[in-house]
Amino acid sequence: MKQWPDRDWQLWRDAVLEQVRFWPDHRAIQKELDAHYEDHKKDLERLGYEPALAAERTLKAMGDPREVGRALNKAHKPWLGWLWQFTRGLLAVLLVTAAVAFFKGNGMVNDVVLRTQEQLAWTEPAPGAARVETEHGTLWLATGEITEDDGHIQAEFHLWMEMRDPFGYGPWNAAAYFQFSDDRGNIPLKQYRQVEGEWPEVGYWEQVQGSGVSWTRYQWTLRLVLDHRPQWVELTYPYGGNDWALRAEWGETS
């Protein structure tokens, strides 16, 4: 009995595809023909045909490859196929262009870049920094350098925040409501001490470095400007039922 290896099927299938002028559809047509051939062959094998005989009968049942190919060519008209390809490509280009224009126009591209830069600029909290776990993340507080300028004491301290999820436009909006105090009482944010367009000389805290634009990790260098040397600084956020406090110490005046 003559053997019908897969090579005969491949030749039949190639003869079909030669008739289809729109080559981008060749892969889909080939896949469909292969599936039809395998299904028919397996049906005959289930009826008791030997595999080689089942392959021979299946191939004969598929018909003349050129006639099948010409029929498929009519269904896969080149001009319709190329028109569809062009339309799909044009639509993709327009969508990408519109998306870039929308995001850029709304500052979203710059926002993503800035957030990523700030995220990568993160450094680990200082060893021994005070630490507290909150509902939305973890905060660390550590003291920095104390200097004296024109009779005013400038005491730097550092704050780290690691949020569990991206915090919208950044936690600095919330951080503006942090409350800092030292051994002599509460210390307001500099902006809240402004009177008639002038900044106060002493008695406030301000941001020196860092921003509230990141994904989940934020850090700032803050500064107290006082008329005395502080022994410690304490951070609280008495809103929303928060009862935590972070304290970092400089120690007694030497």
Residue 113 within a domain:
no
Task: Please report the pLDDT score of residue 1 as a whole number.
Answer: 37
Does residue 55 carry a pLDDT above 80?
yes
Task: Find the helix packing angle between 108-120 and 78-105, rounded to 10°.
Answer: 70
- What are the structure tokens assigned to 100, written together? 């870039």
Q: How far apart are alpha carbons 179 and 176 in whole angstroms?
A: 8
Rounded to the nearest integer, the mean pLDDT of the chain is 80
Task: Please report the pLDDT score of residue 103 as a whole number.
Answer: 53
Task: Please report the pLDDT score of residue 86 as a whole number.
Answer: 57
What's the mean pLDDT in 183-207? 84
Last residue of a domain, one of 42, 72, 105: 105
What's the mean pLDDT in 183-212? 84
Q: Domain holding 151: CATH number?
A: 2.60.40
Shortest CA distance to 175 belongs to which of 123, 236, 223, 249? Answer: 236
Q: Which helix (H) or strand (E) holds 41?
A: helix 26-46
Summarize pLDDT for 106-146 with one digit per residue, the tens: 555 566 777 788 888 889 999 999 999 988 889 999 999 99
Q: Please indicate, yes or no, whether residues 140 and 84 belong to a single structural domain of this protein.
A: no
Containing structural domain, residue 180: 123-249
Task: Find the helix packing angle between 26-46 and 6-18, rounded to 10°.
Answer: 140
Q: Are 158 and 220 in contact (CB under 8 A)?
A: yes
Shortest CA distance to 158 belongs to which of 207, 204, 191, 231? Answer: 207
Q: Are 236 and 186 in contact (CB under 8 A)?
A: no
Q: Is 83 left (phi over 0), alpha (psi -120 to 50) or beta?
A: alpha
Query: Which pTM value belongs to this model?
Result: 0.56
Shortest CA distance to 19 belongs to which of 60, 77, 59? Answer: 77
Residue 116 within a domain:
no
Summarize pLDDT for 139-167 with one digit per residue, the tens: 999 999 999 988 899 999 999 998 877 65
What's the mean pLDDT in 78-106? 57
Does residue 47 carry a pLDDT above 90?
no
